[in-house]
C-alpha cells in the first residue's frame, strides 16, 4: 500500500475528453456476433457433436445490458468489427514518421485539456501516458505526443491495467511535490478495441476506445478561476490471475500464436465481482478517512466504469440509502468499459456543476488487482 501526505496546493486545472466519431450499439454488435456464432457452429458441427469443441452460444442486447449496463461503445473504426468473416477492427499500419493512432488520440485529448486549463505546451515539462495497452513497446507513446505538441521536458508510458489513469495522476502529483516538474500533462489514451476478442460472447461487448487528458500543476501557477485541489492519493495492488491479457512479444519464442486462445483479454467475472467490490469500497473508505472526509459528505464519486452492478454495489456500501446516479455518475452505458479512462471521463463530464468547497473522489480498479484514488476539493484560484 502507498499512502501520501501531500503538501497543499497541487491541483487538477483542466481535463479534456476526446471521443471517437464512430460508435457501435449492442444490437449491431450482437447481430454480427450471432451471425459469426451460427457460421462457426455449422462449420464445426461434427467436432461439436464429438465433444472436441464447444458450440458458440447466442447473445442478445438485453443480456449485455443486464450483465454490464453497457448500451453502446465508441471505437476508432467500425470497419471489420461487424464483419462475421473478420471480427476485429481494421486499423492499417502507418509509416514510422506518421503519428500513430494512440498518439493521435492522446494529442486530441491533450489539446482540449490544455485549453481548459489555460495552458500552452510551453508551460508543460512532463508528460505521462497511462493506459491498459500500448500500441508498441518503444519509442514511448508519451514521447511521441511530447514531440507532436512541442513540449520541452521528459515523458514516459506506464501500464497498470484499468488503474493506469489514477496511478499516472499520482505519479504526476509526486513529481510536482518533489520539484521534478512544474506542470504535468497526464494522458490516458485507451485504444482497447484491437485487444477485444469479438468472437467471445462473454467479453466481446466490454470495451470501447477513448482518450482523456488532465493538467496537474501548483495552485500558484493556475490561470483559471477554479480548480480541483488534490487532498490525497492512495494506491494498492494485490496479485490476482482473474483478469489477464497474455498478448506479448515472448509468444514468438514459445512458438505459439500471439493472438491465440487465452492471449487477448479474459476474466473470471464472478470472482472479480466478489473480490474487487469489497476491496474498492474498503479502499475508498480508508482514503476518505485519511483525508478527514466523511463518506456521506462527498458530493461526487467518480468511480471506475467497468460494470454497472459493481458500481451500484460499491455506491450502496459507501452512501447507503443516499446512493444515486447524481452522486456516482455513470458513463459506461454509452462509452462502455474504457479501461483506465472511465473514472476520468466521469470526472470530466460531471464536475463543473459542483460548488466551491465540494469534495469528490476519483477511483479506478482493475487487473492486478490494482486500486488507485485521488480525493479532491473544488477551490477558487
Asked if residue 90 has pLDDT above 60, the reply is yes
A 10 A CB-CB count for 90 gives: 12
pLDDT reported for residue 258:
87
Q: HEC states along 212-239?
A: EEEEEEEHHHCCCCEEEEEEEEEEEECC
**Which range has the worst mean pLDDT, 119-123, 222-226, 253-257, 330-334?**
253-257
pLDDT at 322: 80
Q: What does the pLDDT look like over 100-109, one tens digit per residue?
A: 999 999 999 9
Confidence check: pLDDT of 260 > 90: no
Q: Which residues contact 189 (CB under 8 A, 6 or more apart)?
A: 102, 103, 105, 106, 109, 129, 131, 141, 211
Q: How far is CA 230 from CA 89, 276, 364, 365, in A?
A: 38, 25, 16, 19
Q: Please, which pLDDT band fits residue 323 given cuts at 50, 70 and 90?
A: confident
| 75-91: average pLDDT | 98
More confident residue, 187 or 262: 187
Burial per residue of 268-290, b for 16 or more beta-carbon CB atoms within 10 angstroms, e otherwise: ebeebbeebbebbbebbeebbee
144: nearest Cα among 99, 190, 95, 183 = 99
Residue 1 has what pLDDT?
43
Do 12 and 185 contact (CB within 8 A), yes or no?
A: no
The answer to whether the CB of 331 falls within 8 A of the CB of 346 is yes
pLDDT tens by residue, 342-356: 999 999 999 999 999
How far is Cα 101 from Cα 76, in angstroms, rounded to an integer?
A: 9
- Is the pLDDT reported for residue 82 higher than 70? yes
Nearest to 142 by CA among 95, 103, 173, 105: 103
pLDDT tens, position by position, 145-197? 999 999 999 999 999 999 999 999 999 999 999 999 999 999 999 999 999 99
Residue 3 has pLDDT above 80, yes or no: no
C-alpha cell at 19: 471521443
Q: Which helix (H) or strand (E) holds 300?
A: strand 300-303
pLDDT at 4 over 50: no
C-beta of residue 47 within 8 angstroms of C-beta of residue 40? no
Share of the chain above pLDDT 70, in %: 98
Q: What is the mean pLDDT of residues 250-262?
A: 89
277 is catalytic: no
The answer to whether residue 85 scores a pLDDT higher than 50 is yes
Q: 162, 222, 277, 363: which one is catalytic? A: 162
pLDDT at 7 over 80: no
Predicted pLDDT at 66: 95
Other beta carbons less than 10 A from residue 296's beta carbon = 10
CA–CA separation, 112 and 103 (whole Å): 14
Find the Cα–Cα–Cα–Cα dihedral 246, 248, 254, 260, rounded to 10°: 60
Does residue 211 surpass a pLDDT of 80?
yes
Summarize pLDDT for 226-248 with one digit per residue, the tens.
999 999 999 999 999 999 999 88
Predicted pLDDT at 5: 63
| Integer Cα distance of 13 and 227 in angstroms | 5
> What would the mean pLDDT of 42-69 be, rounded to a whole number?
96
- Measured distance CA(109)–CA(341) in Å, rounded: 12
Higher pLDDT, 128 or 319: 128
When pLDDT is averaged across residues 205-214 and rounded to a whole number, the result is: 98
Higher pLDDT: 7 or 304? It is 304
Mean per-residue pLDDT, 13-27: 98
Question: Average model confidence (pLDDT) for the chain?
Answer: 95
In this model, does residue 214 exceed pLDDT 90?
Answer: yes
Amino acid at each position: 500500500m502507498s499512502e501520501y501526505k501531500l503538501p497543499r496546493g497541487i491541483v487538477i486545472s483542466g481535463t479534456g475528453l476526446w471521443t471517437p466519431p464512430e460508435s457501435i450499439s449492442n444490437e449491431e454488435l450482437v447481430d454480427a456476433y450471432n451471425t459469426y456464432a451460427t457460421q462457426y457452429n455449422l462449420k464445426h458441427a461434427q467436432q461439436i457433436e464429438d465433444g472436441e469443441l464447444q458450440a458458440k452460444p447466442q447473445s442478445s442486447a438485453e443480456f449485455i445490458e443486464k450483465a454490464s449496463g453497457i448500451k453502446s461503445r465508441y471505437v476508432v473504426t467500425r470497419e471489420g468489427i461487424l464483419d462475421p468473416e473478420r471480427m476485429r477492427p481494421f486499423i492499417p499500419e502507418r509509416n514510422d514518421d506518421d503519428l500513430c493512432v494512440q498518439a493521435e488520440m492522446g494529442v486530441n485529448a491533450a489539446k482540449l485539456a490544455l485549453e481548459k486549463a489555460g495552458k500552452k505546451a510551453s508551460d508543460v515539462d512532463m508528460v505521462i501516458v497511462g493506459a491498459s495497452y500500448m500500441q508498441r513497446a518503444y519509442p514511448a507513446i508519451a514521447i511521441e505526443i511530447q514531440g507532436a505538441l512541442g513540449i520541452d521536458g521528459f515523458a514516459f508510458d506506464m501500464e497498470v491495467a484499468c488503474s493506469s489513469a489514477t496511478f499516472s495522476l499520482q505519479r504526476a502529483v509526486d513529481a510536482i511535490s518533489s520539484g521534478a516538474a512544474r506542470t504535468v500533462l497526464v494522458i490516458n489514451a485507451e485504444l482497447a478495441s484491437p485487444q477485444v476478442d469479438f468472437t467471445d460472447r462473454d467479453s466481446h461487448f466490454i470495451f470501447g476506445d477513448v482518450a482523456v487528458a488532465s493538467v496537474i500543476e501548483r495552485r500558484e501557477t493556475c490561470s483559471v478561476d477554479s480548480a480541483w485541489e488534490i487532498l490525497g492519493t492512495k494506491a494498492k495492488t494485490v496479485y490476482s490471475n482473474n483478469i489477464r491479457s497474455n498478448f506479448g512479444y515472448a509468444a514468438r519464442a514459445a512458438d505459439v500464436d500471439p493472438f491465440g486462445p487465452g492471449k487477448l483479454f479474459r476474466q473470471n467475472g464472478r470472482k472479480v465481482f466478489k473480490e474487487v467490490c469489497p476491496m474498492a469500497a474498503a479502499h475508498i473508505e480508508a482514503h476518505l478517512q485519511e483525508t478527514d472526509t466523511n463518506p456521506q459528505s462527498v458530493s461526487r464519486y467518480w468511480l471506475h466504469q467497468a460494470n454497472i452492478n459493481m458500481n451500484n454495489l460499491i455506491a450502496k456500501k459507501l452512501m447507503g440509502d443516499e446512493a444515486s446516479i447524481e452522486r456516482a455518475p455513470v458513463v459506461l452505458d454509452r462509452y462502455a468499459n474504457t479501461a483506465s479512462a472511465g473514472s476520468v471521463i466521469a470526472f470530466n463530464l460531471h464536475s463543473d456543476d459542483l460548488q466551491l468547497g465540494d469534495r469528490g473522489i476519483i477511483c479506478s480498479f482493475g487487473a492486478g488487482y490494482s486500486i488507485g484514488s485521488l480525493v479532491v476539493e473544488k477551490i477558487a484560484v
